[in-house]
Amino acid sequence: MHFHSLFQNFGELTVTGLAQGAIYALFALGYTMVYGVLRLINFAHSEVFMVGTFAAVLTWGLFGLDQDSATPSVGAVLLLLLAGFLAAALAAGIMALIVEMVAYRPLRRRNAPPLVFLITAIGASTVISEAVGIGTHRNVSSVPPLIRPSTVVQIGNTSVTNIQILIVGLALVMMVVLDLFIGKTRLGRGVRAVAQDPDSAALMGVNKNRVISLVFLTGGLMAGIAAVMYLLKIGGTRYDAGFHLGIKAFTAAVLGGIGNLRGALLGGLALGLAENYGSGLFGTQWRDVVAFVLLVVILLFRPTGILGESMGRARA
Amino acid sequence: MLLELADVSLCYGRIRALHGISLIVEEGEIVALIGANGAGKSTTMRAISGLRPLSGGAVRFDSTDISRLRADLRVIRGIVQVPEGRGVFPGMTVAENLAMGAYARRDQAAIRDDLEKVFVLLPRLLERKGQAGGTLSGGEQQMLAVGRALMSRPRLLLLDEPSMGLAPMIIQQIFEIIEEINRQGTTILLVEQNAQQALSRAHRAYVLETGRIVQSGTGKELLDDSAVKEAYLGVA
Ligand SMILES: Nc1ncnc2c1ncn2[C@@H]1O[C@H](COP(=O)(O)OP(=O)(O)OP(=O)(O)O)[C@@H](O)[C@H]1O
Ligand SMILES: [Mg+2]
């Protein structure tokens, strides 16, 4: 064990952990919201994210940019980022809606048992990922150099880059916006009503299918934003980019308390930090081991996750 | 005729819970539906509010066939059910629960008026405005469920066992509130185990037995009926 390296790099590990965790958190929202309303684990959510990454890369390609382009001017970069975020969020949101309408809604109409939903979710995930895999010849699509990582804050030996600040800042803003939307608006109340008692919600005049669509759409939008953050951080994407990250995001959702919005944030950040500290302590090859041991240990003591309670009960 | 059930049947999977029941509710009435456990009272309510699809027959509201209308759209027409077990949203405050009652409405000014009326009728809710629905006492939850239903401006209010699990004092209070709501112009269909209370407050009543209507009459007639007395009022 490398205690020395952990202490030496504690600040650095914390910063990178938070940035990674912020991506997990935004990604996890889709799992947690859909679970909160439908008690369904939407495995196709990882592909919703993946579609978001390709939408951004394609959009930047439309502007004539590829990985060999020179870094554009500041104004152009801001515009390109905005375009990338919008395209990814829209594409991911629409993809999530399509999954709901094509795969799940017909099953709900037939009152299918939970296992059928689960298999359908896995099937939908495979179909989307394979379709993109075939379409892209399973190649990596690289991102044009929009932002060169540069240190903007330096505290001791800890440096914080512009990309990290963008990721964490934007993730927090999106979380607050979503929290206010669900907590304070009429539509958000409708979502919580369906999560807490679907029959009662119908008796209040809530259109359940509309709420479900809204939930898939919102989860997709957030995954799309996470997708661009991922691109900025990693530099490229592939048809299976959603798979591994999706497992992590789902873990984050369970860790924080699935069904709970704030739990997704907490779970995401906790997972990102734990992974990084773990790889500092044991070496990077232990990263995923640490993540899942953490999950098991927390669930042992708190079977419903850190914040427990569903979107319903915790007044998230 | 505000509500008419014509030969309504309803199945849960292979189990038939309603075997062709017919009943009517006139505008302005309080109509009671009594019957033993498992007779199909709650099922009848679900058939009217649209929570469960019919297997046969028709539900007409205001002379329109609404048999295939979604539950949330029936609310907009004015059919509002307070379900058995109250159906309060446990994680929402009292104020939010009441706001849910007005979910389908857009007339903000009228909603504010109605909220004040609900607080006048059920002052306890005002005291508990910020408390989570799930932490209210049973009686308070019942009041909240009724108040929330009123926020939907029902033309027909369906109450499924409003007295369930409540102390006699509170039961009196709940029934007085029900009569007051009716005096203010809302038609009420009331399901009750507490046949004594229900029959003495209702204009008319139906008796349900294993999914069939076996008797009907004014509240007074049924109170005096020997078969009803024996089966539901606990007097031989
Ligand atoms: N979801 C369901 N699935 C299967 N059977 C059901 C379901 N709901 C009710 N039933 C059955 O339908 C019949 C009527 O039930 P219902 O709830 O309407 O009775 P009730 O008159 O309201 O009784 P109680 O006074 O106990 O509330 C019962 O035999 C019950 O077991
Ligand atoms: Mg019942």
Give the phi and the psi of residue B157 in degrees, each rounded to 5.
-105, 125
For residues A1 and A221, give the distance between their C-alpha atoms in angstroms, rounded to a whole number.
41
pLDDT of residue B167: 85
Give the amino acid at A123.
G
Mutate to test the interface with B, among A187, A204, A207, A307 (most CBs of B within 10 A): A204
Model confidence pLDDT, tens digit, residues A227-248: 999 999 999 999 999 999 999 9
Chain B residue closest to A197 (CA)?
B89
Answer whether B104 sits within 8 Å of A196, measured CB to CB: no
For residues B135 and B171, give the distance between their C-alpha atoms in angstroms, rounded to a whole number.
20
* Chain B CB within 8 Å of residue A66 CB: no
Residue count of chain A, please give it. Answer: 316
Beta-ladder partners of B35: B208
Average pLDDT, stretch A151-176?
A: 93
Q: Is the pLDDT of residue A156 over 60?
A: yes
pLDDT of residue A292: 87
Give the phi and the psi of residue A47 in degrees, each rounded to 5.
-80, -30
Minimal C-alpha gap between A235 and chain B (Å): 42
Mutate to test the interface with A, among B14, B45, B69, B89 (most CBs of A within 10 A): B89
pLDDT of residue A311: 55
Model confidence pLDDT, tens digit, residues A23-73: 999 999 999 999 999 999 999 999 999 999 999 999 999 998 888 888 888
Domain boundary assignment for chain A? 3-143+157-301
Q: In B75-99, which positions are buried (b, 16+ CB within 10 angstroms) versus exposed (e)?
A: bebbbbbbbbbbbbbbbbbbbbbbb
Average pLDDT, stretch A263-276?
A: 95
Model confidence pLDDT, tens digit, residues B86-124: 999 999 999 999 999 999 999 999 999 999 999 999 999
End-to-end CA gap in chain B: 36
* DSSP conformation class of A308: -
CA of B37 to the centre of ligand 1 (A): 8
pLDDT of residue A310: 58
pLDDT of residue B212: 97
Q: Is the pLDDT of residue A309 over 70?
A: no
Q: What is the ipTM of this complex?
A: 0.92
CA of B160 to the centre of ligand 2 (A): 7
- A42-46, A189-193, A309-313, B61-65: range with lowest mean pLDDT: A309-313
Domain at B1-78+156-236: CATH code? 3.40.50.300
CA of B125 to the centre of ligand 2 (A): 25
Helices (H), chain A: 3-8, 10-38, 45-62, 74-98, 105-109, 114-135, 162-184, 186-196, 198-203, 208-234, 241-256, 261-282, 287-301
Please give the mean pLDDT across all residues of chain A.
93
* Chain B CB within 8 Å of residue A200 CB: yes
Give the phi and the psi of residue A76 in degrees, each rounded to 5.
-65, -40
Are the beta carbons of A193 and A201 closer than 8 angstroms? yes
pLDDT of residue A6: 82
Residue count of chain B, please give it. Answer: 236
The residue behind tokens 């999954």 is A99
| Of A205 and A156, the one with more pLDDT | A205
For residues B136 and B96, give the distance between their C-alpha atoms in angstroms, rounded to a whole number.
14
Name the pTM for this structure: 0.92
Average pLDDT, stretch B65-93?
A: 96
For residues B149 and B101, give the distance between their C-alpha atoms in angstroms, rounded to a whole number.
6
Going by pLDDT thresholds of 50, 70 and 90, the confidence category of residue A298 is confident
Q: Is the pLDDT of residue B222 over 60?
A: yes
pLDDT more than 90, % of chain A: 77
Average pLDDT, stretch A205-222?
A: 97
Domain boundary assignment for chain B? 1-78+156-236, 90-153
- The alpha carbon torsion through B49, B51, B54, B57 (nearest 10 deg) reads 0
Q: Is the pLDDT of residue A3 over 90?
A: no
pLDDT of residue A193: 96
Quickly count: other Cβ atoms within 10 Å of residue B37's Cβ.
6
For residues A189 and A201, give the distance between their C-alpha atoms in angstroms, rounded to a whole number.
10
**SS3 call for A51:** helix
Ligand 1 pocket test: which of B11, B14, B34, B42 has the largest number of ligand atoms within 8 Å of its C-beta?
B42
Average pLDDT, stretch A120-146?
A: 95
Closest by CA position to A47, among listed A272, A233, A174, A227: A227
Going by pLDDT thresholds of 50, 70 and 90, the confidence category of residue B164 is confident
Domain at A3-143+157-301: CATH code? 1.10.3470
For residues A119 and A123, give the distance between their C-alpha atoms in angstroms, rounded to a whole number.
6
For residues A103 and A284, give the distance between their C-alpha atoms in angstroms, rounded to a whole number.
38
Q: Is the pLDDT of residue A278 over 60?
A: yes
Closest by CA position to A188, among listed A304, A9, A36, A81: A36
For residues B24 and B33, give the distance between their C-alpha atoms in angstroms, rounded to a whole number.
11
Closest by CA position to B49, among listed B82, B89, B19: B82
Which residues, other chains included, contact B16 with Cβ-Cβ below 8 Å and sequence gap of 6+?
B9, B10, B55, B211
Answer whether B83 sits within 8 Å of A315, measured CB to CB: no
Ligand 1 neighbours by CB, cut-off 6 Å: B 12, 15, 17, 35, 37-43, 84, 193
For residues B90 and B99, give the distance between their C-alpha atoms in angstroms, rounded to a whole number.
14
Quickly count: other Cβ atoms within 10 Å of residue B181's Cβ.
20
Q: Is the pLDDT of residue B235 over 70?
A: no
For residues B126 and B143, give the distance between their C-alpha atoms in angstroms, rounded to a whole number.
11
